[in-house]
Amino acid sequence: MTEKSQPADDPVLSVRDLTTEVATPEGRRVVVDRLSFDLAAGETLCIAGESGSGKSMTALSIMRLLPEPMARIASGSIHLAGRDLAALSGREMRRVRGADIAMIFQEPMTSLNPVLSIGHQLTEAIRVHRPMPRGEARALAVKALSAVRIGQPERRLQQYPHELSGGMRQRVMIAMAIAGRPRVLIADEPTTALDVTVQAQILELIRTLQKDFGTAVILITHDMGVVAEMADRVIVMNGGAMVEAGPARQIFHAPAEDYTRMLLAAVPRLGASQTVSDLAPPPASSVPDDTVVKVSDLTVRFDIVGGILRRPVQRVHAVEGISFDVRRGETVALVGESGCGKSTTGKALLNLVPWDGAIVIDGAATAGLGRSAMKPIRRSIQMIFQDPYASLDPRMTVGELVAEPLTIHGLASGSELTDRVAWLFNRVGLSPDQMQRHPHEFSGGQRQRVCIARALSLSPKIIVADESVSALDVSVQARVLALLQELQDELGLSYLFISHDMAVVEQVSHRVAVMYLGQIVEMGSRAQVFGDPRHAYTRRLLEAVLVPDPDRRHGAFPIADSEVPSPIHPVGQAPARLAMTDIGNGHFVAG
């Protein structure tokens, strides 16, 4: 049964029977279906649901940013402070955007112009709505950056988007959005791709700005932890329609609809993991043959050249002397924030980046091996990348993509190859009938299953899963994680599971290695690292994890005014090494 949200007191935004349609080859399709809600000043309304539920289309409709005529508002009204935005001309709406209503998009890197400085883009946004001399606009830009806790704002104005971290870029987007002091701020998945600590800081920043300026916020997300942390009221959407609406506590503690209960049940929770045993596999020394990956003193550095002669002047110390192993049937998780060296470590295992040290894959040392010598070793180790769409060739069918490794290694051909691919599709929960489709014809979760099938095609002993579920909806994420666990139990697979999501890591891992600035600062069994974290950085990561319960909100979270220390150092200057000390039972912590 569909429940309509209750009208808010003195609504600053009132949406009534909003219906949005998009053109398809089969005709026009409704993507937002008669949606109604009110938003009061200073209120946070969260719109939650899975991908394709109509959340972002609702935001684009309110902002009048639909790609017309392919998409259009078919009916309904959107009243902002008494004006119907649906009835405004394009010119009139441009005066409203930024001044009365603003939006923060999910991916700041695609929203910021890469060839223009931060200062140019920020002052431009200010002057569009408030004509003034450039110097005055620049002074306001500095204030806006200071308001979002960006240190050294004058210097930041000179920088370009690629010079800032993801969290800093998102703060710049927020600064642009609040520069015009809008009455309504729409934030569309503003923290989806961010680390847990950066996410917590961005949410606290939105909350602080809302308190200071009385801004009403519409927060669009599929992360129910974010909803629990931020929402006054919640609208749950599915298939373009409102499934359920009400106060946050009611939605979390007494959901009326099965779809809402399914979303909440799929959310990974710290301390609730029962998926794998808390006991780590036997130590490698007692069963030597069970070690499928052994890494010793792994170091990865990238030179930054400069000057007329293009000589190395600086060096990125991406990974600095780390050591670990992975045993048969075990999941070792590498956790940490962006830039800590997790993904670089995974790529080094497959010889995709230059490295120093020692790596042994299933008994074979890979140091110094060329492309041809690595080919047979790649049968033992495969990788699942974070973005399945970017890792699948759009010109090939998914059947061809899964068959490609088998063809390259000469393991199957003809009907045998077709049968093998069909078996792999069945194994990951896809139909062999889908083998002739192309990647764009699948959902994100289905594409990730295709990538898993391709990784399984060579019957590897270890799979490197690099943020393989971070961009998926909670229900799809739960199904993919269950599939990975099922494959491990059946095939004895080992995983190097790379992630920044601590709740997911607790659910899937046997052992955990925490990375910071290219070094492992703590390592131990899942029970040890999550139940008794010894390093301050590990504790900070755990403290930042959001709990899907409105009664257990974090409250204030410290907002840093600077980025994580840079891993870039002048040539010849190496970062300080963090000493690793054994404190018992395979648990290590930086000294």
Going by C-alpha positions, the residue among 247, 178, 242, 253 that lies closest to residue 216 is 178
- Angle, helices 196-213 vs 166-178, to 10°: value is 10
Domain stops at, among 146, 181, 216: 181
* Per-residue model confidence as pLDDT tens digits over 66-81: 988 889 999 999 999 8
Strand partners of residue 101: 97, 184
Residue 168 lies in a domain: yes
Residue 463 lies in a domain: no
Mean pLDDT of 529-552: 89
* Per-residue model confidence as pLDDT tens digits over 555-571: 666 666 555 566 777 77
- Residue 236 banded pLDDT, cuts 50, 70, 90: very high
335 membership: H or E segment, kind and range = strand 331-335
The DSSP string of 103-161 is EE-S-HHHHS-TTS-HHHHHHHHHHHHS---HHHHHHHHHHHHHHTT-SSHHHHHHS-G
Residue type for position 379: R
Q: Assess contact for 456 and 414: CB atoms under 8 A.
A: no
Residue 508 lies in a domain: yes
Domain stops at, among 181, 201, 225: 181
Is there a cis peptide before residue 69, judged by omega within 30 degrees of 0? yes
CATH number, domain with residue 360? 3.40.50.300
Mean pLDDT of 394-412: 94
349: containing domain: 288-329+336-369+499-590
Residue 383 lies in a domain: no
Residue 359 lies in a domain: yes
In angstroms, the CA 193 to CA 214 distance is: 27
Residue 433 lies in a domain: no
DSSP state of 91: H
Instruction: Compare 321 and 196 and report the one with higher pLDDT.
Output: 321
Q: What is the pLDDT of residue 284?
A: 41
- Max mean pLDDT among 267-276, 341-350, 560-569 falls in 341-350
In angstroms, the CA 190 to CA 246 distance is: 22
In angstroms, the CA 363 to CA 19 distance is: 61
Residue 260 lies in a domain: no
Residue 563 lies in a domain: yes
In angstroms, the CA 560 to CA 151 distance is: 9
> Residue 397 contacts by C-beta under 8 Å, 6 or more apart in sequence?
435, 436, 437, 438
* Per-residue model confidence as pLDDT tens digits over 161-188: 888 766 678 788 888 888 878 899 999 8
Using alpha carbons only, give the angle 229, 230, 233 rounded to the nearest 5 degrees. Answer: 115
Domain stops at, among 143, 166, 181: 181
- Among 38-42, 85-89, 403-407, 466-470, the range scoring the smallest mean pLDDT is 466-470
**Domains of the chain: total:** 2
Residue type for position 90: G
> Residue 283 contacts by C-beta under 8 Å, 6 or more apart in sequence?
586
The DSSP string of 389-458 is TTTS-TTS-HHHHHHHHHHHTT---HHHHHHHHHHHHHHTT--GGGGGS-GGGS-HHHHHHHHHHHHHTT
DSSP state of 532: S
Q: Does position 285 have pLDDT exceeding 60, yes or no?
A: no
